[in-house]
Amino acid sequence: MFKRWLRQTTVATMVALAPMAAMAQSVTQGGDVVVTFKDDVTTLDPAIGYDWNNWSMIKSLFSRLMDYEPGTSKLVPSLAESFTVSPDGLTYTFKLRKGVKFSNGREMVASDVKYSIERAVDPKTQGPGAGFFGAIKGHEDLTAGKATGLEGITTPDAGTVVFTLSRPDATFLHVMAINFASVVPKEAVEAAGGDFGKKPVGSGTFTLKEWTIGQRLVFEKNPNYYVKDMPHVDKFTVEVGQEPLVALLRLQKGEVDIAGDGIPPAKFLEIKNSADGAKMIVDGEQLHTGYVTLNTKVKPFDNVKVRQAMNMAINKDRITRILNGRATPANQPLPPAMPGYDKGFKGYAYDVAKAKALLAEAGFPNGFETVLYSTNTDPQPRIAQAIQQDLAAVGVKAEVRALAQANVIAAGGTEGEAPMIWSGGMAWIADFPDASNFYGPILGCAGAVPGGWNWSWYCNKDLDARAVAADSMSDPAKGAERTAAWGKVFTDIMADAPWIPVINERRVVAKSMRMGGGDNIYIDPTRVINYDAIYVTK
Amino acid sequence: MAFLFFRRLVQIALILLGVAAITFLLLYALPADPARMIAGRSATAQTVANIRRELGLDQPFLVQFWTYLTNLLQGNLGRSYAQKTDVATLIVARLPATLTLMLAGIVVEVMLGLLLGTIAAVRRGGIVDRLVMMASFVGVSAPQFVVALLLLYVFAATLGWFPMSGYGTFAHVVLPALTLGVLGAGWYARMVRSAMIDVLNQDYVRTARAKGLSARRIIFRHALPNAILPIIAMIGIDIGQFMGGVVVVEAVYGWPGIGQLAWQAIQQVDIPIIMGVTLTSALAIVLGNLLADLIAPVIDPRIRTR
């Protein structure tokens, strides 16, 4: 009896300690890592870059006032040494870390912060991130071309930056950690003459050493980086134009360390079931929800009962199988890893009989005909077909229209155009780990405009007011209350069912056996691959 | 001759203008908004509108086209929407790789095509002929993707004779060129075969045979040069096609050619790059044809009198 107890507890202790043993594996400095991507890197300009492959490179080239602890969504000061928030939540004062140098050798000062954020907002920059800074005083004047700077940013001395907001914004510290808030030296931007995206100068963990267009980018460790022993590798080379299947073969031969595009679906099970393969797969949760929008301005989806019936008609388990189990069924807009996600929420269970009954109640006992849009790259059309079959089972005949991404986006943003859109391939992945990022553009009234991303064209003034109220709770002490308020917005919205939340897709990255660090370094919630934190074990 | 040449140049200019106008119109009519592709998901309507204005996309079609044309005539292909770099720089950076693969691919397919086509013609109706024709049929119908991956898997991944991916050395070009060559050789083989059969039935060949010349001399000295004309024309077409980019082969071998640039630009609705690549490949096609037309009379004096 005792022996059995001993054996059990020993096993239990071993299991409990295993992750700690893995963590204790010492982080080694040095090494040269090769990363591959299929798509070329478009730009490394932090005010412009918004692709998922350049996102993490920009993170490492530049620094921002705030950042996240590697592998987590915990905000920490970075270029800022400390900060204070006024009681009304309208003034943020940042004290800058001293002695931080750009890679051109000059010391970073407060006016660089002001310049960089104004540059990101300035229409001339043509950057996508201007809207994130909407709370800063003077934002409207700058975007409308009536001012050349932001009056809400002042620099009392070289080591202090003060932000004055026109409305409280509880996400403001996240905004200070987003790529668009990266600090750049003005002289380097001007010297590059519009080509700053190809000749970036920052103060991040790495500097860009070489860029051979269409072939490779070489990033070298910044020896002057202000955090000791960061980053860990001396150098990483990004090879672009690499077909995922070939990248995987090269990874197996040891030519590649990280296959950034993951594992092609056709190869996934083979790799997963091979002896070494399992160790090469990094499979992590990301802040992603795949959904079908139900256009509330197109009949019959203007009827809430029809929308609810659609929610009950979809077999989400089958869709996760199409993705080889690299996803979990979703029942609410927020993904499980997002603060505010409601674990207890049940949503609409898969129930064909109930869906049919609800459709009959809504006046469609024999169903109806509609159109389902989808992007045209695998596996999205297959998922759209699965949804089509599920809909047919309740009598709804949906024509699948698989188009290029840009055309689907255009259709979604045209009023009365697309009755249903499967979001796969362009689904929402959060810009920063805060629930508010899942609301405004895709479910709020502000996004329900021509050219917007609220493809349900759903606008609920009451929920919008609650969203504004939640975002006004900028006092960190009210954080939990705010998160709960946001969570309730997303579960309450499901009563109106503007979406069918379908799946939360996990990201898969393949890495070579010599790469160290936890899975959350390779699928970091805020930066995909965290180049600062990866390391080589031998 | 000088007049003819001048007329061809005017023709080329008109063709390019036509290509530019049609491509521009098609891209304009596309129900996709480049400004929104740049702005991404979180952008406000104001941001999108600002980007659209900065790019001049809020202007009427004719104004946009006129601006593009005047820039083009000054040798300015514009700036990429997504990459914020001169399109000319991006294309020029990829030209060496594209030209290398084009030349290597054409050399392989022509050599292979000439060899197989000639053998098939000489052994017409026999088992060798049938085998060659069958192989060429498989060659022209096999998907690029499959052949490229197969060669890669066997010769690079398994045998390790060649690097799997990249650009720079002779070893890198072998497999991509072989892929293009094997796939293209089928066309050439069929064409050489039928041209050779025609020629071999002509009187002068019979005369040569009657004179007692060796078979080899008849085939290589007398018949082949006369059968080669359609091949020259076809090379002209292939120059254009390969210059426009061979997307699949480039993708599999990580070859930094123009095709990959175009493919990505299409995804992003990056109009200046799409225009630039289209014009480059159109230029290559007309120049390729011009070259073929200039070479033809050198090889076949009969054309000169025309």
Q: Do B254 and A241 touch (CB under 8 A)?
A: yes
> What share of residues in chain A are helix, strand, coil (percent, to 5)?
35, 20, 45
Residue A495: how many CB atoms within 10 A of its CB?
Answer: 9
Smallest Cβ–Cβ distance between A131 and the set B37, B47, B80 belongs to B47
How confident is the model over A235-251, as a mean pLDDT?
91
Q: Which fold has domain A288-505?
A: Dipeptide-binding Protein; domain 3 (3.10.105)
pLDDT greater than 70 at residue B15:
yes
Looking at the complex, does the CB of residue A37 fall below 8 Å from at least one CB of chain B? no
**CA proximity to A356, closest of A330, A322, A395:** A395
The predicted-structure confidence for B59-98, as pLDDT tens digits, reads as follows 888 999 999 999 988 889 998 888 888 999 999 999 899 9
User: How big is the CA angle at A226 (ends A221 and A231), to the nearest 5 degrees?
Assistant: 35
Place of tokens 């409601």: A342
CA distance B179 to B189: 16
Angle at B177 between CA B175 and CA B182, to 5 degrees: 95
Average pLDDT rounded to a whole number, residues B196-209: 83
Chain A positions touching B37 (Cβ under 8 A) are 406, 409
Task: Delimit the domains of chain A by residue range.
Answer: 28-62+204-284+509-538, 65-181, 288-505
Domain A65-181: state its class. alpha beta
Read off the pLDDT band of A208 (50, 70, 90): very high
ipTM: 0.82
Q: What is the mean pLDDT of chain A?
A: 89
Of residues A39, A128, A215, nearest to B256 (C-beta): A215
Cβ under 8 Å to B: A residues 219-248: 239, 241-243, 245-247
| Residue A355 Cα, gap to closest chain B Cα (Å) | 32
What local confidence, expressed as pLDDT, does residue A12 receive?
39
Residue A263 has a pLDDT of: 84
Pick from B164, B167, B252: which is nearest to A250 by CB? B164
Asked whether the beta carbons of residue B84 and residue A411 sit closer than 8 angstroms, the reply is: no
Q: What is the pLDDT of residues A25-46, one digit of tens each?
A: 578 899 999 999 988 898 999 9
Using the CB atoms, write b or e for A314-352: b if 16+ within 10 Å.
bbbeebbebbbebbbbbbbbbbebbbbbbeeeebbebee
pLDDT at B240: 79
Nearest to A243 among B37, B44, B252 (CB): B252
For B204-230, what is the mean pLDDT? Answer: 80
A23, pLDDT greater than 70: no
Closest Cβ opposite residue B46 in set A143, A241, A249 = A143
Which chain A residues are Cβ-neighbours of B51 within 8 angstroms?
Answer: 123, 126, 128
Q: Are A312 and A328 in contact (CB under 8 A)?
A: no
User: Which residue type occupies A241?
Assistant: G
Determine what percent of chain B is predicted with pLDDT higher than 70.
98
Write out pLDDT tens, residues B243-281: 876 888 888 898 898 988 998 888 888 999 999 999 988
A428 contacts B252? CB cut-off 8 A: no
Give B-chain residues touching A437 at CB under 8 angstroms.
Answer: 42
Q: State percent of chain A over pLDDT 90.
A: 64
- B31 and A48 in contact by Cβ < 8 A? no
Q: Where do the domains of chain B lie, and which CATH numbers do they carry?
A: 1-88+261-306 (no CATH), 98-256 (1.10.3720.10)
Binned at pLDDT 50, 70 and 90, residue A2 comes out as: very low
Rounded CA separation B257/A213 (Å): 10
- Confirm if A250 and A36 have CB atoms less than 8 A apart: yes
- Give the span between the Cα atoms of B106 and A447, in whole angstroms: 52
Residue with tokens 């290029």: A404
Among the residue ranges A217-231, A284-298, B1-15, B154-168, the one predicted with the least confidence is B1-15
A432 inside 8 A of chain B by CB: no
Residue A92 is predicted with a pLDDT of 96
How far are the Cα atoms of A219, A313, A342, A466, A481 from residue A477, in angstroms, in the given order?
40, 42, 21, 19, 9
Q: For residue A7, what pLDDT band results from cuts at 50, 70 and 90?
A: very low
Is B26 exposed, middle or buried (CB count within 10 Å of its CB: 0-12, 13-18, 19+)?
A: exposed
Chain-chain contact of B261 with A40 (C-beta, under 8 angstroms)? yes
Mutation for A interface: B28, B30, B84, B258, most A CBs within 10 A: B84
The per-residue pLDDT for range A408-438, each reduced to its tens digit, is 988 998 999 999 999 988 766 778 888 988 8
**Which residue in A336, A326, A299 sits closest to A438, CA to CA?**
A336
Whole-model pTM: value is: 0.86
pLDDT digits (tens, 9 = 90+) for B130-140: 888 888 888 88
Cα angle A448-B48-B55, degrees, rounded to a multiple of 5: 155
Q: How far is B139 from chain A (nearest CA, A)?
A: 23
User: What's the pLDDT tens digit per position in A342-368?
Assistant: 999 999 999 999 999 999 999 999 999
Mean pLDDT along residues A273-279:
81
Backbone angles phi, psi at B141, to 5 degrees: -100, -10
Q: Which residues on A lie below 8 Å from B39 (Cβ)? A: 128
Reported as a single tens digit per residue, the pLDDT across A179-199 is: 999 999 999 999 998 899 999
Does the pLDDT of residue A177 top 90, yes or no? Answer: yes
A452 reaches B (C-beta below 8 A): yes
- Chain B residues touching residue A250 (CB < 8 angstroms): 164-165
Q: Assess contact for A424 and A383: CB atoms under 8 A.
A: yes
Q: Kind of pairing, strands A91-96 and A153-157?
A: unpaired
pLDDT of residue A3: 37
Give me the residue from B33, B82, B252 closest to A246, CB to CB: B252
Is A449 in Cβ contact with B164 (below 8 Å)? Answer: no
Query: For residues A280 and A254, what is the distance between their CA atoms, to the nearest angstrom?
Result: 12
Mutation test of the interface with chain B: which of A121, A132, A213, choosing the one with the most B Cβ atoms within 10 A?
A: A213
Residues A36-61: what's their mean pLDDT? 91
Please determine, for residue A13, whether its predicted confidence score (pLDDT) is greater than 50.
Answer: no
pLDDT single digits (tens) A435-445: 988 898 899 99
**Which of B50, B76, B149 is the mutation pick for testing A, counting most A CBs within 10 A?**
B50
The residue written with tokens 């204005």 in the block is B53
- Identity at B261, one-letter amino acid code: L
A contacts of B80 (beta carbons < 8 Å): 42
Cβ contacts of B36 on chain A, cutoff 8 Å: 406, 409-410, 413, 451
Q: Which of A34, A50, A291, A454 to mutate to test the interface with B (most CBs of B within 10 A)?
A: A50
Question: Chain A: residue nearest B251 by CA?
Answer: A243
Question: pLDDT band at residue A460, thresholds of 50, 70 and 90?
Answer: very high
Q: What is the mean pLDDT of chain B?
A: 86
Please give the pLDDT value at position B304. Answer: 65
CATH superfamily label, A28-62+204-284+509-538 = Periplasmic binding protein-like II (3.40.190.10)
pLDDT of A511-534, one tens digit each? 999 998 888 899 888 888 999 999
What pLDDT is attached to residue B54?
Answer: 86
Cα separation, A51 vs A100, in Å, equals 28
Asked whether the beta carbons of B180 and B101 are under 8 A apart, the reply is: yes
Question: Which among A123, A255, A413 is the nearest to B50, CB-wise?
Answer: A123
pLDDT digits (tens, 9 = 90+) for A82-122: 999 998 899 999 999 999 999 999 999 999 999 999 999 99
Beta carbons of A124 and B33 less than 8 Å apart: no
Three-state secondary structure readout of B268-281: CCCHHHHHHHHHHH
Q: Are A534 and A233 in contact (CB under 8 A)?
A: yes
Can you list the alpha helix ranges (DSSP code H) found in B142-255? 144-151, 170-200, 203-211, 215-217, 224-227, 229-243, 247-253
pLDDT mean over A66-85: 93
How many CA atoms lie less than 13 Å away from B163 in the CB half-sphere?
A: 14
**Nearest chain B Cα to A437, which residue?**
B42
- For the segment A477-515, what is each residue's pLDDT rounded down to a tens digit? 888 999 999 999 999 999 999 999 999 988 888 999 999
Q: Does A195 touch chain B (CB under 8 A)?
A: yes
pLDDT above 70 (res A5):
no
